Structure 1
Amino acid sequence: MSILKWNLKNIYVMPIIAIILSVWGAIQAPKLKVNMDLSGLLSDKNPAVVEMNHVSEIVGGGGYLIALIGPIASPEKKLPKIVEAIKNVPQIRYSYFERETYLLRDKALFLLSKREFRELNEHAQVLFSDEKIDTTGLDLFDEGDNTEDVAEAKKIFSELKTSVPQEQYFLSSDKLYAMLLIKPSFGSTDLDASALLVKNVNEAITKISGPKIPYQLSGRYVEKIQDKEQFDRDIAKTSIISTVLLIIVLFFGLGSMRAGWFTIAGVFIAMGQTVGLAYFFVGRINILTGFLLAILSGLGSEYGIHLVRRYLKDRHTGKGQLEAIESSYLTTGRSLFSAAITSASAFFILSISDFKGFSELGIIAGFGVVCIYFTFMCIFPLGARLLPYKKEGHIQEKFSRFFYTYPFKLNYTYWYLILIPVFTYGIYQAYFEYDFERLHNFSKKTQELNKLTDDLYGRAITPSAILTRDTEQAQSLESWLKNDDNRDIVQLVISYQSLVPEDMQTRQKRIMKIKNKVNSLSPKEIEDKTGLKYDQVQRWLTTLPYGEELIPLSLAENFGPDKNIMLVFPKERQGTFENINRYANVLLKAKKLFPGMEVGSDTLVFSSILNHIIEDGKVVLVLFLIGAFLVFWPDFKNIRYALILEGQLVVGCAFLVAFMGLIDEPFTILNVAIIPAVLAAGIDMGVHQIHDEIENKRSPIKAPKKRGRALSAAQRISGPIHLGMLTSVCGFGALLFAEAKMLNGIGWISILGQLSMYLVCMVLFPTIKDYIYSFREEK
């Protein structure tokens, strides 16, 4: 309190300090790094992130820049020209347009597993020899008692034919599109390098002589750039919208242009300080924290509103300027301190989470609230001297009275009962959106491109890369991943050992025995017996053992220097919770069965984010409630008031869930992270209501039958509360204009959170308290 009184006498010192700190913070803004990747929401020490970074470093990052050529007749004929044109682009490691399976088509007999090759030997005996075979497989043409059926043998050869794709290029079904895969020399999270790569590729393709080649670039490298561009547009758009709305609301709501500019100035000064502290303590912004300034601007205005409203009220009661400044500064400053401590503590509690989606949000928002309180307490003694004694302008004056409209009375209680089944239905309808892809607002064109590339490639373009301890573990793991239990989840497993099997020399001897039998047959007999083209059979039988040099580069470089990395392709697109969960369970089970292996996979990163949201979210919410109680109790020095505010947080959370269900807005991995923040921002209403109730405890109630002591307190503070709530909605609501759907969800949950806490703190609990007060008085 002594510091506040000192500031009342030395009105220039603290504003200068606040402005200097704000300028310092604004200078740090360009230094803040932007991380748009979802993995940025996890700790750098998270096992999924550590392993993914390690494996990605070995294989050279994940994903491709994709060039879709078309629509044009025979698009595959343009591919060699494009490859030649882009070969000198420095950011490219290599590119290819032929399917790896096509390049390996003649090596099919060496690519079979040992079991499959043994079965093939046995069935070859049935087709190419009249002799019986030994089921042990020790000698291909020894006699035995287990004679295979010819029909079964033909089926095996038919399956072998279909398992070796004959298509050379990645062509669409209508043959109008072809795909070129470009492997960059860096990861897709390097946005500057991605932008330069796309620019250089576009320039190289444009320079190709002859008719213009229709093409489009797609893939994660392009999508990351689009995300960043969308991110920048959304920040600019939401900031402008929230600022304009704040100016309009404050101008009319406070009834004074000068009061509005004073509040806006305080918010801007505080935001500059917040940016500086964000750089100092966090050093970056992620997909969640990038829009905090727009949100905090709305919340921050509330502090200026309460101070200005209280000052104008004291002036209208006859107090002089200095007396009104001191009265509003010390009295309102105390309740604002309680509100700031509550909100900041709630935010800072989030910082203990290992999930950066929580922790970085908590740190930046916590310091944001501190800066807002600090700034307004610094500048108010000086700024209040600039405020008018009388409200300026007839229109503003009438409009500002609107904010004091408070219709809620005790006799409305029965109408509230109607809301019980409505809210119950809303809670029942609430749901969590686990589909990561729906969080993006990809254009229809981008969605079509993604679907087309998926169809052309035929499997996940970015597989999981698993680093094993040694060759023995790699072989055991590959065998386990290919077993029947994983058949519906794992589409394909590729390892160096499967492409260059260690038993090639032994196989070659067996293949030569088959070849000798085949040579005794005519081409027509061979085709009739196998259902395969004679030339294909001959190519399989004449292929010699080979080494690493014949493996396509797009596969060979992924195996690592020790050849202990394997590629695992999931059968389902990893976009929904169900698909992610199924595939993640396979990978996690593999990690338990094969200790020491490392997995580089987006799926485990997504799975880890979901687990943090579910598990850390529960812990954070509990800690938030405990922390809030520990702030309320010493602040009011009354456990009853602390429990009332704690109850408001719990009921407010239930109301929020109900509202989300009623408007069919889903909870997501992003908007659910700010629930504690939304509740903390809203509980300010309950804090102010109780402070006013205590301050006017002995004052007579004007209409006790309409409103008791609690509802009367709510009515008295309704003006600043309504105006503060509206400014908060302006900050949150600006997110509804963002292009990214994930930000729309944050906007909705924030707005509905404010509405929920208003109904709880300003209507429901004051009504209940008034009934309790009246019951006690009657007794």
Structure 2
Amino acid sequence: MSEKRWSERFEGAMGRLAVRNHRRPYQALLLALVLTVLGAFFARTLTLNADFVGLLPKGFPSVQDIEKLRKRFGGQGNVVVVGMGADPEVLKRFADDMAPKLGALSEIRYVSHQRPRAFFDEHSLYYVDVEDLVTIQDRIDARILWEKQQANPLFVSLVEEDPPSVDFSDIEQKYTGRANQRLSGQGDLYYINPAERMVVLMAKPRGSAADLNYSKKVVSQVEDFLATQDLSKYGPGFKTAVTGTFKKKIDQQRVIVEDLARASSLAMVLLLAYLAFHFRSALSVGLTMAPVMAGLGWTYGFVGLAYGQVNLLTGFLAAVLGGLGVEHGIHLLGRYTTLRSEGMTSEEAVDESFRHTGFSALIAALVAALTFLSLAMSEFRAFREFGIIAAVGMLVSIFSYVLLLPALLGLATRFGWSPRVQQENAAGPLSLLARWLPRSYRGVGIVVGVGVLALVSQAYRISFNYDSRTLEDYKQASAVLDQKVNDILGYSQTPVVVLTDSSEMEREVVRQLEARKVARGKESTIDFVGALADLVPKRQDEKQAILQAISAKLEKLDPERLPEATRNTLVRALNMAKAKPFTQEALPTSVRHQFESLDGSTGGVVLVYAGGVSLSDGEGTRKFAKEVRGLQMPDGSQVSAAGEALILADILDMVSREGPRILAAAVLSVLVAMWITLGKLRTALICMLPTLLSVVGLVGLMSLLGLQFNYLNIMVLPVLVGTTVDAGVHLVQRLGERGADFVSVYAETGRAITGGLLTSAIGFVALILAKHPGLNSIGDLANLGFGINLVIVLLGFPSLLLMVERWRRKHGAASEEQSEQPAPEA
């Protein structure tokens, strides 16, 4: 049996099923009601998870590392309290007042409000290598000898020379940038910015910012505490604000939830408005929207059952699927209306509509589902879940229309309703265009073809944007304030972490990372590395002996005989030389806290701070990830840093690697599916031509407009393949029917195609108005793609079909004339 006959049998089956539901509407509606109740039940507990970690498979090393980090070390980041609007002394008093009170809150482990400078300054010589201490001692000996010589009246110098220097800045410079110096910081003892009139307190929560409910709990506790404080004693203009990782997570979630509600509501309003304009009938709007709403309910019931939550992309899928689903209704109800106007009964019109137009819609839905499933190949969970849910949604949408629309039409007909004939088909813009195209198709085809070729020629210039800062809402007050806090600290609040099993491993990790930093020089992305084991220097007893000797010798120098700058250095060195050896327990509490596990134990934690790059810049993050991963330990084991920055690096690597493969899979799966369902490879290629030209044209237009792909909007390409291919299918299928007239078919199908593309675009239009820049970029690209496809499928593609048809007629007529001529006599 040929593929053609197989497709005809499938068409007949769809028609018969639709007729059955038309004859027995109550059974169909009861089944739909049961499915809707089940969908609502499973979808009732759906939540939104915007956490980066949730976008990668759980088996990924970076995900497993960060989960270990969270279990052992707790969440990264702080709840940061900022006091603003007072003079420095008042700000310091506020910090001193609030620190112990904040630290007493049940969800706060500790609070840092001062730099541990005094301790590290006092013990700074213990961080100097023994060899350099000996050098310092030699310089002091040389100066003492010179002083003695100058005090001896019998000593006569044969050459005039400067006194030996006791300046140790060159040795001090050698150790600049190490953890003890960076943690002690520069400037004021407090985390203060006098120019901004701000002071910062960093409160470390007990839980993780990845747990949104916990983030809300701890931030609310801090904000409620601040609300009860009498701030008037710090001045009339004094106020407080809360920022940090936990606060930013909440604000980001709030923005996305608001965007989700806004986009869904806007998409619904736009869909209803367009359908009212398209059908000019409230009942027709209801007949189109009822299957869509039911299908969305069933789809999100599946989401609740399969995943239990939605992510950044799948949360907005309802708006997108609503637009795509309405497209089927426009084609089906439009065809039904036309057939009724031609004299068919309701049952006959339902049979004919679902037999042909319904089959075309099924092909389009299957093709779209296969395209979406190509996204499921990705290890990036945001893409994979989007692909699976969208594929299910497309198939559910068709099932919903086959089940509900015939039943609703059957009920409406029983109550005496008959569709109003749309005058648009006779005198509307599409009818005028249908009559104009056959006269001007050559010029239109040339103009559109040249335009598409111009866009295609620019496609090679497209680039990928790795900077995730362009995809997040950095205009939020908490995000702006958080950046100011980082400027005050002098380093990021969220380093990546290497977990180790012993102090020896800690030192080895620090040694290797510092060696990598030195080897890369200015190209290094590491600012500094800190570990408790490394903050307690080795050979302290040996160093103490040298320092005692230095102290004794320094006391022999007369400060009054030294230059003022050197005199200050001498006094400072004398104080440092008197310092005693110390253990981990003697380190400042604010420092030890940073390396504590959740159970209060210390050690086994190495903090790695990025320098020279922003961990929001994807390209810099990828370089940083390479520099802090794959540390080989002496026992043969391997350790790597963990943190959300490394999750971002993995996402970027994955998307840039998988993007071409997913697009190729989408195109091939669509081609094979259409080949099977349409019966001929040539027909499948013809139907796909507008879509392929639209995708390549979009890439070219992006390069002309200065737009870039990113790890979110790159999924638009396979989505466009699946959502625009049905236009070519509907047009080719209708024109291929026996006795089809171009003008009437184009007017009717073109109107449905236009409506379908507009409603498909509506879901993405809603994303353009979202506050989240990453979602904006998806909406921008999708609607540019729909716009290009609309021009190609309404002007360029019909012109091409007319050219081919006229060429066939011409050569077919010539062949017939040649065959009718008598054969020459022998």
- Over the aligned positions, Cα root-mean-square deviation in angstroms equals 2.9
Q: Once the 2 structures are TM-superposed, how far is the Cα of residue 403 of structure 1 from its aligned partner?
A: 5.7
C-alpha deviation, 1:286, in angstroms: 0.7
Counterpart of 1:81 in structure 2 is 97
Look up the match of 2:608. 568
Alignment CA distance shift 1:244-1:426 (3 Å): farther
Is 2:622 the counterpart of 1:577? Answer: no
Determine the structure 2 residue equivalent to 1:143.
none
Cα distance per residue 1:59-101 (max 9 Å; x no partner): 2110111111112102122112112332332211111111244
Deviations 1:360-381 (A, max 9, x none): 1011111111221111110121
- Classify the secondary structure of the residue corresponding to 2:615: coil
- Check conservation: 1:329, 1:381, Cα contact below 8 A: no
Q: SS at 1:480's partner residue? A: helix
Question: Which one of 493, 513, 537 corresponds to residue 529 of structure 2?
Answer: 493
Structure 1 letter corresponding to 2:714 = V
Question: Residue 329 and residue 534 in structure 1: after superposition, are their counterparts in 2 closer, same or farther (change >3 A)?
Answer: same
Corresponding position of 2:131: 118
**Structure 2 residue identity aligned to 1:419:** G
Tell me the residue number matched to 1:634: 676
Residue of structure 1 equivalent to 2:716: 674
Deviates more, 1:618-627 or 1:584-593: 584-593
In structure 2, the gaps of 5 or more residues are 1-12, 146-161, 812-826
Higher mean Cα deviation, 517-526 or 335-344?
A: 517-526
For the residue of structure 2 that corresponds to 1:600, the secondary structure is: coil
Contact 1:434 1:668 (C-alpha < 8 Å) held by counterparts: yes
Change (3 A) 1:152 1:273: farther
CA-CA distance at 1:200 after TM superposition:
1.6
Is the contact between residue 105 and residue 166 of structure 1 (CA under 8 Å) also seen in structure 2?
Answer: no
Q: 1:157 to 1:615 in 2, by over 3 A?
A: closer
How does the TM-score come out when normalised to structure 1?
A: 0.89
Determine whether 1:368 maps to 2:393.
yes
> In the aligned structure 2, how far is the partner of 1:389 from the partner of 1:632?
37
- Map 1:729-740 onto structure 2 (within 5 A): 729-740=761-772
How far apart are residue 591 of structure 1 and its match?
6.2
Question: Match for 1:413 among 432, 442, 445?
Answer: 445
Q: Name the SS for the 2:114 alignment partner.
A: coil
CA distance in 1, matches of 2:118, 2:616: 29
1:188 equivalenced with 2:209 (yes/no)? yes
CA distance in 1 between partners of 2:803 and 2:530 (Å): 72
Task: State the identity as a percent.
Answer: 23
Distance, in Å, in 2 between the alignment partners of 1:206 and 1:374 is: 55
CA distance in 2, matches of 1:660, 1:351: 25
Shift of 1:237: 1.1
CA deviation string 1:534-580 (max 9, x = no partner):
55323311221111212234442444557232111111221223321
The unaligned stretches of length 5 or more in structure 1 are 133-147, 703-711
The aligned counterpart of 1:588 is 629
Q: Which residue of 2 aligns with 1:244?
A: 269
In 2, the alpha carbon distance for the partners of 1:284 and 1:656 equals 32
- Contact 1:129–1:517 (8 Å) recurs in 2: no
SS in 2 for 1:90: coil
List aligned pairs for 1:696-707, cutoff 5 A: 696=738, 698-699=739-740
Give the letter for the 1:50 counterpart: Q
In the alignment, residue 533 of structure 2 is paired with which amino acid? Q
Q: Which residue number in structure 1 is paired with residue 646 of structure 2?
A: 604
- What amino acid sits opposite 2:233 in the alignment? P
SS of residue paired to 1:85? helix
CA distance in 2, matches of 1:160, 1:167: 23
3-state secondary structure, aligned to 2:192:
coil
Measure the CA separation in 2 of the matches of 1:102 and 1:309. Answer: 80
| Structure 2 counterparts to residues 400-479 of structure 1, below 5 A | 401-402=428-429, 406=433, 408=437, 409-411=440-442, 412-420=444-452, 422-424=454-456, 427=459, 430-443=462-475, 445-446=477-478, 448-468=480-500, 470-479=502-511
Task: Sort the Cα spacing of 1:217 and 1:588 in 2 relative to 1 into closer, same or farther, 3 A.
Answer: same
Matches of 2:567 and 2:330 in 1, distance apart? Answer: 84
- Three-state SS of the structure 1 residue aligned to 2:360 is helix
SS of residue paired to 1:721: helix
State the distance in 1 between where 2:802 and 2:331 align.
25
Q: Could you tell me how far 1:744 is from its partner in structure 2? A: 1.3
Q: Which residue of 1 aligns with 2:6?
A: none
CA distance in 1, matches of 2:203, 2:782: 42
Give the SS at the match of 1:215: strand
State the Cα deviation string for residues 256-289 of structure 1 (Å, max 9, x = none): 2111111112211111111100111222111111
| 1:132-531 map, 5 Å | 150=164, 154-156=168-170, 159=173, 164=181, 165=186, 167-174=188-195, 176-209=197-230, 210-211=232-233, 213-385=238-410, 386=412, 401-402=428-429, 406=433, 408=437, 409-411=440-442, 412-420=444-452, 422-424=454-456, 427=459, 430-443=462-475, 445-446=477-478, 448-468=480-500, 470-483=502-515, 484-488=518-522, 489-524=525-560, 530=566
User: Aligned pair count?
Assistant: 750
State which drifts further: 425-434 or 728-737.
425-434
Q: Structure 1: how far apart are the matches of 2:217 and 2:462?
A: 44
Change (3 A) 1:525 1:187: farther
Q: CA deviation at 1:596?
A: 1.9
Structure 2 distance, partners of 1:504, 1:287, is 53
Kept after mapping to 2: 8 A contact 1:686/1:761: yes
Q: Is the 8 A contact 1:71 1:214 kept in 2?
A: yes
Whichever residue aligns with residue 178 of structure 1, its letter is V
> 2:85 — aligned with what?
71
Whole-Å separation in 2 of the counterparts to 1:403 and 1:592: 72
Residue-by-residue CA offset, 1:9-63 (whole Å, 9 max, x unaligned): 3322223222221222223333113211222211111111111121232221101
**Worse-matched range after superposition: 208-217 or 681-690:** 208-217
Assess, with a 3 A threshold, how the Cα gap between structure 1 residues 167 and 110 changes in structure 2: closer, same or farther.
farther
Structure 2 residue identity aligned to 1:236: A
Given residue 379 of structure 1, which amino acid in structure 2 is its aligned partner? L
CA distance in 2 between partners of 1:695 and 1:274 (Å) = 34
Say whether 1:768 aligns with 2:800: yes
What is the CA–CA distance in structure 1 between the aligned matches of 2:647 and 2:245, rounded to whole Å? 16
Deviation, 1:533, is: 4.6
Task: Please say which of residues 529-538 and 463-472 is displaced more in the overlay.
Answer: 529-538
Question: Distance in 1 between the 2:271 and 2:102 partners?
Answer: 50
- How far off is 1:485 after superposition? 2.2
- Shift, 1:466, TM fit: 1.0
Aligned counterparts of 2:260 and 2:715: Cα–Cα separation in 1: 19
CA contact (8 A) 1:518 1:526 kept: no
Question: Deviation at 1:768?
Answer: 3.0
Query: 3-state DSSP class of the match of 1:599?
Result: coil
**Equivalents in 2 of 1:281, 1:448: separation in Å?**
38
Corresponding residue for 1:45? Answer: 59
Distance 2:785 2:70 in 1: 41
Q: Could you tell me whether the CA contact under 8 Å between 2:369 and 2:394 is conserved in 1?
A: yes
Say which is worse superposed, 325-334 or 358-367, in terms of deviation.
325-334
For 2:94, the aligned partner's letter is: K
Distance (Å, rounded) in 1 between the aligned partners of 2:62 and 2:638: 14
Q: For the residues of structure 1 that align with 2:175 and 2:462, how far apart are their CA atoms?
A: 50
C-alpha displacement at 1:672, in angstroms? 1.1
Distance 1:195 1:700, change over 3 A: closer
1:547 aligned to 2:583? yes
The structure that has the greater radius of gyration is: 2
CA distance 1:290–1:472, shift in 2 (3 Å): same
